[in-house]
Structure 1
Amino acid sequence: MYDIVIVGAGPAGANLGRLIGNKYKVLLLDKRDLANENPQNFTSKCCGGLLAPDAQKMIAQLGLGIPKDILVDPQLFAVRTIDLTNNLERLYQRFYYNMDREKFDHWLVSLLPAGVDKKFNSLFKNYAKIPGGYEVRYVHKGEEKSVKTKVIVGADGALSRLRKSIGKGIDSPEEYISIQQWFKSPGDLSYFTAIFDEEISDFYAWIIPKDDNLILGAALRPRANTREKYERLKIRLQDYGFNFGRQLKTEGAFIYRPREVSQLYVGRDGIALVGEAAGAISPSSAEGISYALKSSLYLAQSLEDGLDGFLDRYMQKVKEIKLNLLLKNLKSPAMYNPFLRKLAMQSGLRSIK
């Protein structure tokens, strides 16, 4: 019998396990091979791998420091903003840690207390209510297994199976498909590029240099000629000097975009949700690491006084995240309304030469 089973070992699940592993008997599940530094068949996270200022602040608040071998070249201090709709371009100063996302996740897992049980290469299947808690079923290396637990935590990202099972009738965030292709970089880039084009997406696209490689990613509406629009984006960017080299790999994942505060849902009964599974992700930039770390910290704090009533305490703490999501949504029109974005970029306010 475990006290807590955490489904998902990304930043939210791993950080929660780190914070509560010395107080509770914890099992951490993940479908990836996070126990092996050089796995043969590693499914990488479809993520730009940038630590934005909000995530940097959370790393500091947690008393952590990023090991230098997680960082990649170049470190980024500017955002090149390209508005394809209005044919405008500006450069803005902003500070990002450019990192290897796979190594970042391995590092967070390495910080887990020795008492935390880890089952990687394990796919969560389902759960059933039993006296005193739940029975959790998962598949490990092709074999179905089960454990008993008092509490389940869903840290399983967008389209969370746990959220779907307990959140019937709860409004879910809007869903997008994130597509990323890696290319052999034909030249040096020293900035993060954000691209806006209403014909491609009502969200945005990005270009990020990674050592000798380049990532082109886009958040696109599902079932709306997604792949065709991604290819059209590549062609349009050639007019701005981007000549993508040899393609190395393609990644994809669903991501959430919470447009209403009510879409942040943290669970019920003995099942809690953290990170993107809860709907905690920026609706303006799709940045999720800061929310993963913050929500897992709040849940850990809510568990300090025991399992009884922990979910009520957690709901109180995430009110700060709800306010943050509200403010991000109020900010969004200046970025995503073509007319307002045109006015902002034409003004040159806060831009650099």
Structure 2
Amino acid sequence: MYDIVIAGAGPAGANLARLLGNRYKVLLIDKRDLENENPKNQSNKCCGGLLAPDAQKMIAKLGLGIPKDILVDPQLFAVRTIDLTNHLERLYQRFYFNIDREKFDRWLVSLLPSDVDKKFNAVFKAFAKIPGGYEIQYTCNGQELYAKTKVLVGADGAASRVRTLIGKNIAVPEKYIAVQEWFECPYEIPYYTAIFDEEISDFYSWMIPKENCLLLGAALRPRENTKEKYELLKSKLTKLGFDFNHKIKTEGAFINRTRKLSQFYTGQDGIALVGEAAGAISPSSAEGISYALKSSFCLAQSLETGIDGFLDRYKQKTADIRLNLLLKNLKSPAMYNPFLRQLAMKSGLQSIK
């Protein structure tokens, strides 16, 4: 019998296991092999790999310092905003840590207390209610396994299996498909690029330089000609002088966009949700690492005084996340309404030359 089983070892799940591992008997499972440096046939997390200021603040609050081998060149201090709809460009000062996302996740796992049980190459399948908690079903290296636990935590991202199994009457965030390709890039690009074009998406697209590569990604509506729209994006950017001829790899994943506070859901009974599984992700920028760290920190705090009543305490402690999601949604029209965005960019307010 475990005290806590955590499905998902991304920043939310790994941080939670780190904070609770010395106090509770914890099992952490993830479909990736986050201990083997050279796993076979493993797909990486589809992520731009930028630590925004809010994520940097949470890492500082957690008393952590990032090892230098997780950082990748160049470090970024500006955002180039390209509005293809209104044919406008602006440069804005912003501060990001440019990181290797896979190394970042491995580093968080390396910080786990030795008492934490870890199962990698493992996929959470289902749970059943039993006296005193839940029985968890998962597969590990092709073997079907079971575990009993008092608390189940879904830290399994936008396509959370845990959240799906809780019930069908829970409001869910809007789903997008993130498509990201890596290209060889022989020239230096010293900024992160945000691209807006209503013909492509009502969300946004991005370009991020990493070492000798350039990442091109887009958040697209599912079942709305996603492949064609991504190719159209490449075509439009090629006309601006970007080179996408030497592709290295393609990544994809679902991402959530929490447009209503009811879509942020912390869980029920003895089941809690953290990170993107809870709907904790920026609806304006799709930044999720800060929310993953903050929500897992809130849940760890709620369990400091025991399991009884922890979910009520967790819901109270996430009030700041709800307020933040509300403010981000209020900010969104200035970014995603073409007319308001045009006014903001033409004003030149806070832009740099």
Give me the TM-score of the superposition, normalised by structure 1: 0.99
1:249-277 deviation line (CA, Å, top 9, x unaligned): 00000000000011100000000000000
Which letter maps to 2:137?
A: R
Q: 1:186 touches 1:245 (CA, 8 Å); kept in 2?
A: no
Q: 2:195 touches 2:204 (CA, 8 Å); kept in 1?
A: yes
Q: Percent identity?
A: 75
Map of 2:131 onto structure 1? 131
User: Residues of 2 paired with 1:254 and 1:129: CA distance?
Assistant: 28
Map of 1:198 onto structure 2? 198
User: Residues of 1 paired with 2:242 and 2:53: CA distance?
Assistant: 27
1:130-155 deviation line (CA, Å, top 9, x unaligned): 11111101011111000111110000
Map of 1:63 onto structure 2? 63
Q: 1:186 touches 1:243 (CA, 8 Å); kept in 2?
A: no
Map of 1:301 onto structure 2? 301
Which letter maps to 1:37?
A: E
Displacement of 1:38? 1.9
Map of 1:186 onto structure 2? 186
1:187-234 deviation line (CA, Å, top 9, x unaligned): 110000000000000000000000011100000000000000000000
User: Residues of 1 paired with 2:159 and 2:47: CA distance?
Assistant: 16
User: Residues of 1 paired with 2:286 and 2:300: CA distance?
Assistant: 24
**Where do 1:25-44 residues align within 5 Å?**
25-44=25-44
Which letter maps to 1:236?
A: K
1:327 matched to 2:322? The reply is no
Q: 1:167 touches 1:267 (CA, 8 Å); kept in 2?
A: no
Map of 1:291 onto structure 2? 291
1:52-105 deviation line (CA, Å, top 9, x unaligned): 011000000000001000000000000000000000000000000000000000
Displacement of 1:186? 3.1
Which deviates more from structure 2 when the two are superposed, residues 156-165 or residues 14-23?
156-165
Displacement of 1:241? 1.8
Map of 2:242 onto structure 1? 242
1:143-171 deviation line (CA, Å, top 9, x unaligned): 10001111100000002111111142111
Map of 2:342 onto structure 1? 342
Map of 1:113 onto structure 2? 113
1:2 matched to 2:2? The reply is yes
User: Residues of 2 paired with 1:101 and 1:270: CA distance?
Assistant: 31
User: Residues of 1 paired with 2:98 and 2:89: CA distance?
Assistant: 23
Displacement of 1:42? 2.0
1:9-39 deviation line (CA, Å, top 9, x unaligned): 0000000000000000000000001111221
User: Residues of 2 paired with 1:142 and 1:161: CA distance?
Assistant: 18
Map of 2:351 onto structure 1? 351
Which letter maps to 1:271?
A: I
Map of 2:164 onto structure 1? 164
User: Residues of 1 paired with 2:59 and 2:252: CA distance?
Assistant: 26
Displacement of 1:41? 2.0
User: Residues of 1 paired with 2:222 and 2:168: CA distance?
Assistant: 21
User: Residues of 1 paired with 2:178 and 2:75: CA distance?
Assistant: 23
Give me the TM-score of the superposition, normalised by structure 2: 0.99
Q: 1:186 touches 1:244 (CA, 8 Å); kept in 2?
A: no
1:45 matched to 2:45? The reply is yes
Which letter maps to 2:298?
A: Y
1:96 matched to 2:91? The reply is no
- Please, which runs of 5 or more residues in structure 1 have no aligned partner? none
Map of 1:80 onto structure 2? 80
Q: 2:281 touches 2:287 (CA, 8 Å); kept in 1?
A: yes
User: Residues of 2 paired with 1:300 and 1:255: CA distance?
Assistant: 24
User: Residues of 1 paired with 2:76 and 2:242: CA distance?
Assistant: 18
Which letter maps to 1:118?
A: K
User: Residues of 1 paired with 2:203 and 2:240: CA distance?
Assistant: 20
User: Residues of 2 paired with 1:84 and 1:167: CA distance?
Assistant: 41
Which letter maps to 1:287?
A: E
User: Residues of 2 paired with 1:186 and 1:342: CA distance?
Assistant: 33
1:161-182 deviation line (CA, Å, top 9, x unaligned): 1111114211110000000000
User: Residues of 2 paired with 1:311 and 1:124: CA distance?
Assistant: 22
Secondary structure in 2 matching 1:126: strand
User: Residues of 2 paired with 1:7 and 1:300: CA distance?
Assistant: 15
1:88-127 deviation line (CA, Å, top 9, x unaligned): 0000000000000000000000000000000000011101
Q: 2:126 touches 2:165 (CA, 8 Å); kept in 1?
A: no
User: Residues of 2 paired with 1:255 and 1:37: CA distance?
Assistant: 26
Map of 2:274 onto structure 1? 274
Which letter maps to 2:145?
A: K
User: Residues of 2 paired with 1:267 and 1:168: CA distance?
Assistant: 13
Which letter maps to 1:352?
A: I
1:288-329 deviation line (CA, Å, top 9, x unaligned): 000000000000000000000000000101111000000000
User: In the comparison of the two structures, how many residue pairs are matched?
Assistant: 353
Map of 1:15 onto structure 2? 15
Map of 2:312 onto structure 1? 312
